[in-house]
Structure 1
Amino acid sequence: MVQRRVVTAALAAAVLLVTTGCSSDDGERTDAAGSPSPSSSSTGSSPPDRAADEAPPAKGSVKVVRTVAEDLDSPWGLAPLPEGGLLVSSRDEATISRIDEKSGKRIELGEVPGVAPAGEGGLMGIAVSPEYASDHMIYAYFTSESDNRIVRMLYDPEKPAGEQLGAPDTILRGIPKGTNHNGGRLAFGPDRMLYASTGERYEGPLAQDKDSLGGKILRMTPEGQPAPGNPFDDSVVYSYGHRNVQGLAWDPEQRLWASEFGQNTWDELNHIRPGGNYGWPEVEGEGGEAGYVDPVAVWSTEEASPSGIAIAEGSVWMAGLRGQRLWRVPLDGTETAADPQAFLEGDYGRLRTVVAAGDDKLWLVTSETDGRGSPEEGDDKILELEVT
């Protein structure tokens, strides 16, 4: 059993040394040429003109209430069902399971055909149809032999375990795939449209090419067609210039927020505007350049390498993989964020997905069995957290 070193839960305020490696979408570092550095050298913070005392009154801490499930293999996506129960995808096993959030009992719905796990690819994000009460559809984002794609499947809980998923209906194909940088998050927005995050598979120019589906946030109808009101004619592209987004969530004002992996220096939290250009590969972090949207908060890649995000009690909660911590970013009434705070530093290893579970609770998924962690007994887990 590998012993983890627990880091104290204080937010680092000192300037960190700039690293020279490349952070993949899970935080593993490889040699690569750097991209332009942002003007600010602060880490784990909002833009430098933001005062710390502007943070809104909100619940400011979090504690682990209990372990909901354990011994999961490469869990990635998590989707609560309206009638109760949590759906969880296994990236490497290409299965979707249902977990009773009270007893922890797990039932495998079935394996998703056509998934080709490799590197950071496999079965990733899942989402439940907004019309689930009538259509019982589950949506999934996965890597196939040729591309990344989005499918929907009928879920029939009356069938035997392992046979509860219908044949996948592909609603969108042709998303560029790579060993790394596959994006993968799926979520239905308040507008009942389906949003998906994609990566640029280590080809930065794809992020700036509005004709490519790579390095984007996509918005589509439940059938996979360009959603009404999209910024570009006859296109599912909603925003571009992204390196590798894996977190999507909406606040009570229906603003969309996204977490994004940086390369050499800065990971990001962004407020997403339709048609916005978020800079990659021309800008990493806060560039302050005309034509690009700057992030509202940045972190060093050692502190974050962010995946999923959720919004609860006035804050964005962001799961860190390489950073092995849960970040809280308090939101105010505008389009900016107050200074972030870190929790659970090193306590549970790599953190993949976080989902709101009511007004003051979160579900948190660890990610120690994905090939980059140090699994301990019981990994991986789903934890129930209370925001206090």
Structure 2
Amino acid sequence: MGRQFLAVAAVFVAVGCTGSQSDESPLSPSTSAVMASSAVAGPTVIAEDLEVPWGIAFLPDRTALIAERDSGKIRHLLPNGEVSDIGEIPGVSARGEAGLLGLAVSPTYDTDQMIYAYLTTDDDNRVVALRFDGTVLGEPDPILTGIPAGAIHDGGRIAFGPDGALYVATGEAGDKLLSQDPSSLGGKILRLDADGSIPADNPTPGSPVWSLGHRNVQGLAWDDAGRLWATEFGANTWDELNLIEPGNNYGWPYAEGSAGIDGFTDPVLQWRPSEASPSGLAFLDGSLWVAALRGERLWQIPVGADGSLGEPQSLFEGEYGRLRTVVATPDGALWFTTSNRDGRGTPAEGDDRILEIRPVP
């Protein structure tokens, strides 16, 4: 696929931490001053003929691991473009939105050779640790079990933060009130140590819950200042981009989008599901990048040093179908995946694919 240069402006709704705005509201002055990159180079095809690629994580040698949702396989993408199977995770129960989902690589992989996966079993969603020596994938060791599971709203994104803790995004599995139940692992962002123990500085002693009141979080990313951002599927009205603070309650099911309800934290950006259904999230080159499923596009949202957001850009609208995952690569590029074989898309030749772009200075 040839290289191309593009940037497409889009209408988006910025909201404050309290109160609400209609879909006709313009961007506030505090956000519009931050500008997005004017162009990107690409995309180029990195890999193709994948089966619903969901999680991507990079090893220290810059090769990539890919989790396929429905097959339960972890695949290894080498620099020459070759994709090999390194193993199938036992016990994966793929149904609806469930299956083998997020992947993460230990920040101390050079010494422990550990990787982590989020998967659905017949009974629950769970996080497992596995040893991978570059050739052979070891047996999964569950470090967190009992996350509610269903055919919908399984969350699934996992990522190590700048603090070395493992963050886990979960969904409420279709049972809305679980999001507000502090004793449930559903509808939360969780924070763990790498061995599954609970960090002493979590908001509630003895609880892995970092934030609650979420419907279905599938994107986690930290910006250069260490702020944690998360993308979240709404129901019928608003999808969300949230700035995550420990212990905060983001309102679901009593709030969808910016509701201005005391005790709940409103999203910093919201948009209609037809424009988004946001899944993967990455931070690169001063911007957040959001992969949109129903919206069939990639969103670029510039972030100021103070956390203010600029005018979003809509890229590749309708060109590649449903987009699931987006990750920043070790060499400064951005990868995003199609998700057209997930039962809700229309596969094109080569789907599902990993595509690469590079911001142009």
- Report if aligned partners of 1:312, 1:359 keep a CA contact under 8 Å in 2: no
Distance 1:153 1:276 in 2: 32
- Report if aligned partners of 2:34, 2:309 keep a CA contact under 8 Å in 1: no
Q: Matched residue pairs, number? A: 350
- Report if aligned partners of 1:78, 1:355 keep a CA contact under 8 Å in 2: yes
Q: Does 2:111 match 1:134?
A: yes
| Structure 1 residue 59: Cα displacement | 2.4
Instruction: Give the unaligned 5+ runs of structure 1.
Output: 1-7, 16-37, 159-163
Q: Does 2:151 match 1:179?
A: yes
Aligned pairs (5 A) from 1:26-105: 39-42=20-23, 50-51=28-29, 54-100=32-78, 102-105=79-82
Distance 1:276 1:14 in 2: 25
Q: Judge which range, 70-79 or 149-158, deviates more.
A: 149-158
| Structure 1 residue 202: Cα displacement | 1.3
User: Structure 1 residues 234, 132: CA separation in 2 closer, same or farther (over 3 Å shift)?
Assistant: same
Deviation sequence 1:123-143 (CA, Å, 0-9, x none): 000000111001111100000
1:260 corresponds to which of 232, 240, 254: 232
Number of the residue aligned with 1:156: 133
RMSD (Å), alpha carbons: 1.9
| Structure 1 residue 49: Cα displacement | 6.6
Number of the residue aligned with 1:239: 211
Number of the residue aligned with 1:345: 317
Distance 1:61 1:258 in 2: 24
The residue identity in structure 2 corresponding to 1:59 is S
The residue identity in structure 1 corresponding to 2:99 is G
Number of the residue aligned with 2:121: 144
Deviation sequence 1:55-77 (CA, Å, 0-9, x none): 32552432324111000011100
Number of the residue aligned with 2:345: 373
Identity %: 52
Number of the residue aligned with 1:275: 247
TM-score calculated relative to the size of structure 2: 0.93
- Report if aligned partners of 1:296, 1:336 keep a CA contact under 8 Å in 2: no
User: Structure 1 residues 211, 177: CA separation in 2 closer, same or farther (over 3 Å shift)?
Assistant: same
1:287 corresponds to which of 233, 245, 259: 259
User: Structure 1 residues 52, 64: CA separation in 2 closer, same or farther (over 3 Å shift)?
Assistant: farther
The residue identity in structure 2 corresponding to 1:64 is G
Number of the residue aligned with 1:202: 174
Paired residue secondary structure (1:302): helix
The residue identity in structure 2 corresponding to 1:141 is Y
Distance 1:166 1:53 in 2: 47
User: Structure 1 residues 359, 287: CA separation in 2 closer, same or farther (over 3 Å shift)?
Assistant: farther
2:163 corresponds to which of 172, 182, 191: 191
Distance 1:65 1:12 in 2: 20
Number of the residue aligned with 1:161: none
| Structure 1 residue 288: Cα displacement | 1.4
The residue identity in structure 2 corresponding to 1:246 is Q
- Report if aligned partners of 2:40, 2:357 keep a CA contact under 8 Å in 1: yes
Number of the residue aligned with 1:31: none
Distance 2:345 2:353 in 1: 13
Q: Does 2:204 match 1:223?
A: no
1:107 corresponds to which of 65, 68, 84: 84
Distance 2:30 2:322 in 1: 28
Deviation sequence 1:43-62 (CA, Å, 0-9, x none): 7xxx8572277332552432
| Structure 1 residue 103: Cα displacement | 2.0
Distance 1:210 1:372 in 2: 33
User: Structure 1 residues 122, 176: CA separation in 2 closer, same or farther (over 3 Å shift)?
Assistant: same
The residue identity in structure 2 corresponding to 1:40 is Q
- Report if aligned partners of 1:121, 1:182 keep a CA contact under 8 Å in 2: yes
TM-score calculated relative to the size of structure 1: 0.86
| Structure 1 residue 338: Cα displacement | 2.0
| Structure 1 residue 41: Cα displacement | 2.2
Distance 2:26 2:206 in 1: 38
The residue identity in structure 1 corresponding to 2:71 is E
Distance 1:55 1:93 in 2: 45
Distance 1:53 1:251 in 2: 16
Paired residue secondary structure (1:285): coil
- Report if aligned partners of 2:76, 2:83 keep a CA contact under 8 Å in 1: yes
The residue identity in structure 1 corresponding to 2:52 is S
